[in-house]
Amino acid sequence: MRRDLVAACAPYLAPHGVVMTTDADSRIFPDWVEANLDELNRADLICGTVLPDPAEFARLPPVIAGRLRANTWR
């Protein structure tokens, strides 16, 4: 779905425009937009790290939490 939405946006971008996405349940840092735009001066694509909220992470089912802790999500 995200791929389709980004593809739908692409024709409307200004020259050198960017599309930045995150998840609806994510909380971003106040300088998220500026920091990403700054990094795009050095790269064509930026992928970030997800730092789960500790209280929400504690409520995950063990099978999911264990895979995320072991970094073996596939």
Count structural domains, the chain. 1
pLDDT digits (tens, 9 = 90+) for 5-64: 989 998 999 998 988 888 877 888 899 999 999 999 998 888 877 777 888 888 888 888
pTM: 0.59
pLDDT at site 72: 53
pLDDT at site 23: 81
29 and 35 Cβ atoms separated by less than 8 Å: yes
pLDDT at site 46: 83
Q: How far is CA 67 from CA 17, 20, 24, 51, in A?
A: 36, 27, 22, 15
pLDDT at site 8: 93
Which domain, by its residues, includes 44?
2-70
